Structure 1
Amino acid sequence: MNPLAYSMFIISLAMGTTITMSSHHWLMAWIGLEINTLAIIPIMTKNPHPRSIEAATKYFLTQATASALVLFSALLNAWFMGGWNITTMSGLPSTILTVALMMKLGLAPLHFWMPEVLQGISLSTGLILSTWQKIAPMTLLLQLPQHVNIYIMTSFGLLSIFVGGWGGINQTQMRKIMAFSSIGHLGWMILVLKFNPQLTELNFVLYIMMTAAMFLSLMSTNSTKMTDVSTAWIKTPTLISFSLMTLLSLAGLPPLTGFAPKLLIVMELIKQNAIILASAAMMASLLSLFFYLRLTYIMIMVISPNTTSSKGLWKMTKKTNALTAMTTTIALMALPMLPTMILMT
C-alpha cells in the first residue's frame, strides 16, 4: 500500500475514535464510529489475499449492522426523550444500544465475527482491531452505566468469559487464540460495568497494554501458529521469556499485572453480594487459563530437534524495537503502579 494512503487511513482511524470519545451528541458519536469502521477496511485489505478480503467483508457487514442499530436507538431515544444527549437514555433505546455496542466489541453471543476476522488479517492489523478499535464503543458504554440493564450486562459478561475459555482451548492459530482471549477479557469488564465503571476503565487500560505487548512479540518473531512459537525460542530466547510472562499476565496469575483487575473485580462482585456470579466467573476463567498454560508449555518446554530436514530460520527476520520492549515491560511491571492508577480513575 502507498505510504501516503496508509498514513491517511491511520489518521482517519485516530480521528474517528477521537470524535466518538469527545462527542456529547449521538449523531456525532455515530459519525465517529462510522469513520473508524471505514478507515480500517482498506488497512485490512492492504495484502490482496482472498482471506483478507473475506475478513474485511465480514467485518464490514457486522459493523454496518451494529452501526445501524446504534443510529436506530439514537433516533428512538430522540423521539422518546426529545434530545440527542448521550447521557440521557430511556429503557428500550438503551437496551438496543447496549446490544449494538457489544456487537461492535465482539462480546458473546455476538462474537462469531471476531475470531474469523482476526484470523484473516495480518498481525499488525490484528493489533489495531484488538486494541484501538475497542476504545470508541467502550467509551460509549462507560458513559451509560446507569442506563444499561444489569441483567443484560451480567449475562453477556459471564457468557463471554465462558466462550473466551471454551473457544480458545482447541485452537492452534495464535490470532484466533488472541481473539478468544479478547472476548474473555471484555467479558470481565462488562461484568462489573454496572457496579463500578472506574474498575472497568482500569481493566480496559491494562488489557490494551497486555494485548499490545503480546501482539508486538508475535510480530517480532513473525509467529502466527503454535509451531512457530515452539521454534521461536532458538531465535530469541529473551523475547520469548518475556512473552511467556505476558501470557501468564493475560491469564491473571500473581504477581503479574493481569492478576490485579481480576482480583479487584471479584472483590467488587462480592461487595455487591453477587457471590454466585463471582464464583462462576472464576470457574470460567480456569478454561482460558488452560490454553494460556499450554502456550507457555509449548514456548519453553518443547524444544525442536537439533537435526531436522526443514530449512528453519536460525535468526530473527525482524529486530525487536523499542515499542515492543516498552509495552512488554509495562504489561509485566504495572502491578506496583496500580494504586496510583486506581486513584487517577
Structure 2
Amino acid sequence: MSPYVLTIMSLSLLLGTTMTLISDHWLTAWMGLEINTLAVIPLMTKPHHSRSTESAIKYFMIQATASMIILFSAIFNASTTNQWITGQISNTSASFMMTIALAMKLGLAPFHFWVPEVTQGIPLLSGMILLTWQKIAPISIFYQISPSLNMSLLMILSITSTLLGGWGGLNQTQLRKILAYSSIAHMGWMTIIIMIYPSLTILNLILYLASTITMFMVLNQSSSTKINSLSILWNKSAPNMIIITLTLLSLGGLPPLTGFMPKWLILQELINFNNIPLAMMLALSTLLNLFFYMRIIYSSTLTMFPSINNTKLQWALYSHKTILPIPTLTIISSLLLPMTPMFITLS
C-alpha cells in the first residue's frame, strides 16, 4: 500500500474515532462511526486476495446494518423527545435498538459470528486494529448512554458473550481466531459493569487494548499465525516467548498480573450490588478463556526443549519488523496490579 494512502486511512481512523468521542449530537457520532468503518476496509484488503476481500465484505455488511439501526434509533428517539443530544435516550424502543446496534458493532453474542471469521481472513496488523481501535467508538457511545440502557438486555448480552467467547475458542488452532474469541469474552466483561460502574469499563478497555496490542505485535514480529508455529519460537526468540506467556496469563486474569485488576474490581462491584450468581457465572466463564490461553503457552514452551540454536545462519532468524512499543506495552499489560489503589481513586 502506498505510504500516502496509508497515511490518509490512518488519519481517517483517528478522525472518525475522535468525532464520536467528542460529539454531543447523534448525527456527528454516527458520521464518526461511518468514517471509521470506511477507513479500515482498505487496510483489511491490503493483501489483495480473495479471503481478505471476503472478510472486508462481511465486515462492511455487518457495520452498515448496525449503523443503519443506530441512525434509525436516533431519529426515532428525536421524533418522540425532540432531542438529538448524545446520551439522552428516554424512549425505551430507541434504547433497545441502540443497544442491539452497538452490540453488533462490538461483536457481542449472539451477534458475534462475524468477528472470528473476519479476523481470520485479514493480516495480523489489520486484525489488531479491528479488535482494538475499532472498539473505542462503540464503547464510548455505550458509556454516554449507560444511564438509559436496559439492564436485563445488557446482562443477557454480556453473559452470553463471556460464555460463548470462552466456549468458541476451545477447539481453535488459529491464533487470530483465538484472539477474536478472547475479544468477544472481554467485551462481555466491559458491558456487564457499564451501568453499575462505567469507569471500570474504561479501565478494562485500556488494559485490554494494551494486552491485545502487545500480543498482536509479538505475533507479527515472529510471523506466527498458528499454535504449531509457536513451538519453535523459543528457539528463535526467547524474549518473545516470555512476553507471549505473560500477556496471555494477564488476559486470562491471573494474579499478580495486570489483567487480574479489572476482573477483581468488576466482581467486587457485582457482589456489592448483590449480583452474586452473576459474579459466579463470570468467574467460571473465565476458566474457559484460561484453558485456551494455557493451550498456547503449553504448545509454545513445553513441546520443545529450550535448546540453543546451533545454526550459522543467525541472520535468517532476525526480524526487521519494529519492536519499539513492545517492552512498554508488556509492562503495562503485566505489571500494573500494585497500582490498583491509584486506579480506584482516579475512577
1:69-94 per-residue CA deviation (whole Å, 9 max, x = no partner) reads: 00000000000110101121121101
1:95-121 per-residue CA deviation (whole Å, 9 max, x = no partner) reads: 100110010000100001000000000
Equivalent-residue separation in structure 2 for 1:325 and 1:303 (angstroms): 25
Letter in 2 for 1:334: L
CA contact 2:234–2:306 (8 Å) conserved in 1: no
- Equivalent positions of 1:1-345 (< 5 A) are 1-89=1-89, 90-303=91-304, 315-319=317-321, 321-345=323-347
After TM superposition, give the deviation of residue 342 of structure 1 in Å. 2.8
Task: Tell me the TM-score normalized by structure 1.
Answer: 0.96
CA contact 1:235–1:314 (8 Å) conserved in 2: no
Letter in 2 for 1:44: M
Equivalent-residue separation in structure 2 for 1:26 and 1:343 (angstroms): 32
After TM superposition, give the deviation of residue 56 of structure 1 in Å. 0.2
After TM superposition, give the deviation of residue 238 of structure 1 in Å. 1.3
After TM superposition, give the deviation of residue 178 of structure 1 in Å. 0.2
CA contact 2:235–2:306 (8 Å) conserved in 1: no
Task: Tell me the TM-score normalized by structure 2.
Answer: 0.95
Equivalent-residue separation in structure 1 for 2:318 and 2:164 (angstroms): 35
Moved more, 13-22 or 83-92: 83-92
CA contact 2:207–2:332 (8 Å) conserved in 1: no
**Count of residues in Structure 1 that have an aligned counterpart in Structure 2:** 342
Letter in 2 for 1:82: N
**Ranges in structure 2 where 5+ consecutive residues have no aligned partner:** none
Equivalent-residue separation in structure 1 for 2:138 and 2:154 (angstroms): 14
Equivalent-residue separation in structure 2 for 1:156 and 1:296 (angstroms): 30
CA contact 1:230–1:304 (8 Å) conserved in 2: no
Letter in 2 for 1:30: W
1:215-264 per-residue CA deviation (whole Å, 9 max, x = no partner) reads: 11111111100111111111100121121011000000000000111111
CA contact 1:146–1:194 (8 Å) conserved in 2: yes
Equivalent-residue separation in structure 2 for 1:105 and 1:249 (angstroms): 22
**Ranges in structure 1 where 5+ consecutive residues have no aligned partner:** none
Q: Call closer, same or farther: CA 1:302–1:154 in 2, change over 3 Å.
A: same
Letter in 1 for 2:326: T
CA contact 1:192–1:199 (8 Å) conserved in 2: yes
CA contact 1:106–1:183 (8 Å) conserved in 2: yes
Please, what is the CA RMSD of the aligned residues? 1.7
1:193-213 per-residue CA deviation (whole Å, 9 max, x = no partner) reads: 111111111111111111111
SS of equivalent residue, structure 1 residue 169: coil
Moved more, 188-197 or 6-15: 188-197
After TM superposition, give the deviation of residue 12 of structure 1 in Å. 0.3
